[in-house]
């Protein structure tokens, strides 16, 4: 049986990646940093994935095990794995990289000729490439050369909303998801054959990845920050507010104008259909998704290469105005949730540096006119 080591046994790890890999015939070994989660998985050896929809569907993922991230067991699991995947949060990839390097060193020592593919399923531009850089920076030349001929690092886009479990899950390991899913895998970087039923294999990932990150995640973050501003607890409540729904639609339209300009392979009609389907997914009445989950870590979400600032630049390249994204960014800077450590850091910057310098620091935006628009919008909130 093929074996996958998946780092991060959280919402998307269990509810999407683990589920699909199990369906593709892999034994899935989860690696996580939470000992109680490891114990629960090893005790149950299975878990449920519940689809939140008009017709609730419950699937059981069997034949799973778990190991602690920083353990000998975890390093050894990499020696004979066919696949390594992650869904740990972009900032945690550095910790995964350190363990993966140790595992690859062991794999090389044991003369394992079998090729391995690695995919980081994080919401970010080319997260696998980020992981690859972290891995290679920790290797000597010999290991680096071996890796280049034996290990494929394929960038991916993952599209499925796995909301907070609270309010939905019954059993401790239940994972809850929406019905829709898309997993796009960039083929040229793969080593050997990879067959995951349900995944989409593409030659060039960027259009797929940016379409998803901007039209879904950028719009979702907008709904979260606008919802928080109006004191709504969930995305559903926020999206039922016509003013917020209008801002979300504007953000999507501005992102689309930049995407069609940048990627001729993307068709306007198809993008508009995708955007409408995304708004319908946000309005799924069976999902209570907290604005705090969707808006989490604004320091990352408001940064230069992420879901709001990058589409803003693409739209500007297409000579389009961006009032929707400007408002979304202003709302992001107004997200002063004291329970979110990154939001607290953003607020600290605003207090210490003033709003204009904080916006420029966090977003990397240097154009004075754009900065002015964001600051004016923030001050008018």
Please tell me whether 15 is known to bind a ligand: yes
**Does residue 12 have a known ligand-binding role?**
yes
> Looking at 4, 5, 8, 254, which residue binds ligand NAI (CB under 6 A)?
8
Q: Is there binding between residue 296 and ligand F6P (CB under 6 A)?
A: yes
Question: Taking the alpha carbons of 281, 283, 289, 293 in that order, is the dihedral positive or negative?
Answer: positive
296 binding partner (options ligand F6P, ligand NAI, none; Cβ < 5 to 8 Å by kind): ligand F6P
Instruction: Output the six-digit token pair for 343.
Output: 């939001």
**Residue 10 marked as a ligand binder:** yes
Is the Cβ of residue 77 or residue 297 nearer to ligand F6P in the bound state? 297
Cβ atoms of 90 and 123 within 8 Å: the answer is yes
Q: Look at residues 280, 260, 279, 278 and name the one whose alpha carbon lies nearest to residue 268.
A: 260
Q: How far is the CB of 296 from ligand F6P (least distance, A)?
A: 5
Query: CB 247: neighbour CB atoms within 10 A?
Result: 23
Site string for ligand F6P, 297-316 (x = CB under 6 A): x-------------------
Annotation-wise, does 9 bind a ligand?
yes
Per DSSP, the chain holds a count of helices (H) and strands (E) of 19, 12
Q: Which is nearer to ligand F6P, 78 or 202 (CB)?
A: 202
- Pick the piece of the chain touching ligand NAI (CB under 6 A) from 120-128, 246-254, 306-314, 334-342: 120-128
DSSP 49-64: EEE-SSS-EEEEEESE
Element (H, E) at 98: helix 93-109
Alpha-carbon distance values, 286 to 50, 111, 235 (Å): 11, 50, 12
Q: 69 is in the binding site of which of ligand F6P, ligand NAI, none (Cβ under 5 to 8 A by kind)? A: ligand NAI
- Which H or E run includes 288? none
Buried b (16+ CB within 10 A) or exposed e, 11-32: bbbbbbbbbbbbebebbbbbbb
Q: Which two tokens stand for residue 299?
A: 């320091």
Instruction: Count the residues of the shown chain that bind ligand F6P, applying the rule CB under 6 A.
Output: 7
For residue 269, the minimal CB distance to ligand NAI (Å) is 25
Interface segment toward ligand F6P; rule CB under 6 A; list 18-26, 133-141, 290-298, 347-355: 290-298
Q: Any contact of residue 74 with ligand NAI (CB under 6 A)?
A: no
- The residue among 223 and 375 lying less far from ligand NAI, judged by its C-beta, is 223
**Quick check: 32 and 69 in contact, CB under 8 A?**
yes
d(CA 287, CA 266): 30
Picked from ligand F6P, ligand NAI, none, the partner binding residue 33 (CB below 5 to 8 A depending on kind) is ligand NAI
Q: From the list 26, 32, 248, 256, which residue makes contact with ligand NAI (rule: CB under 6 A)?
A: 32
87 contact choice in ligand F6P, ligand NAI, none (CB below 5 to 8 Å, kind-dependent): ligand NAI
CB of 294 to ligand F6P, least distance (A): 5
Binding site for ligand F6P (CB under 6 A): 123, 161, 217, 220, 294, 296-297
């Amino acid at each position: 049986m093929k074996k996958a080591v998946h780092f991060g046994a959280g919402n998307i790890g269990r509810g999407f990646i683990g589920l699909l890999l199990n369906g593709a015939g892999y034994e899935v070994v989860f690696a996580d940093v939470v000992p109680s989660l490891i114990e629960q998985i090893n005790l149950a050896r299975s878990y449920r994935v519940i689809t939140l929809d008009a017709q609730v569907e419950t699937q059981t993922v069997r034949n799973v095990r778990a190991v602690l991230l920083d353990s000998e067991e975890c390093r050894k699991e990499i020696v004979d794995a066919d696949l390594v995947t992650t869904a740990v949060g972009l900032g945690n990839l550095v910790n995964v990289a350190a363990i993966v390097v140790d595992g690859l060193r062991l794999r090389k020592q044991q003369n394992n000729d079998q090729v391995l593919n690695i995919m980081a399923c994080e919401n970010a531009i080319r997260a696998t490439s980020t992981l690859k850089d972290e891995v290679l920076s920790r290797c000597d030349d010999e290991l680096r050369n071996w890796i280049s001929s034996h290990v494929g690092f394929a960038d991916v886009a993952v599209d499925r909303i796995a909301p907070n479990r609270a309010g939905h899950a019954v059993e401790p390991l239940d994972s809850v998801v929406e019905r829709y899913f898309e997993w796009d895998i960039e083929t040229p970087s793969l080593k050997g054959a990879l067959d995951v039923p349900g995944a989409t294999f593409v030659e060039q990932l960027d259009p797929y990845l940016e379409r998803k990150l901007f039209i879904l995640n950028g719009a979702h973050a907008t709904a979260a920050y606008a919802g928080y501003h109006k004191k709504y607890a969930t995305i559903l409540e926020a999206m039922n507010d016509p003013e917020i729904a209008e801002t979300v639609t504007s953000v999507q339209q501005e992102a689309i104008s930049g995407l069609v300009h940048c990627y001729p392979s993307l068709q306007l009609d198809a993008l508009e259909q995708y955007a409408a389907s995304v708004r319908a997914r946000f309005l799924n009445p069976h999902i209570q998704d907290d604005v705090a989950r969707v808006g989490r870590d604004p320091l990352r979400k408001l940064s230069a290469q992420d879901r709001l600032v990058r589409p803003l630049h693409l739209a500007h390249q297409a000579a389009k105005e961006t009032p929707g994204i400007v408002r979304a960014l202003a709302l992001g800077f107004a997200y002063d949730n004291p329970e979110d450590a990154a939001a607290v850091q953003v607020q600290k910057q605003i207090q210490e540096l003033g709003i204009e310098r904080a916006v420029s620091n966090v977003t990397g935006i240097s154009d004075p006119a754009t900065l002015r628009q964001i600051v004016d919008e923030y001050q008018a909130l």
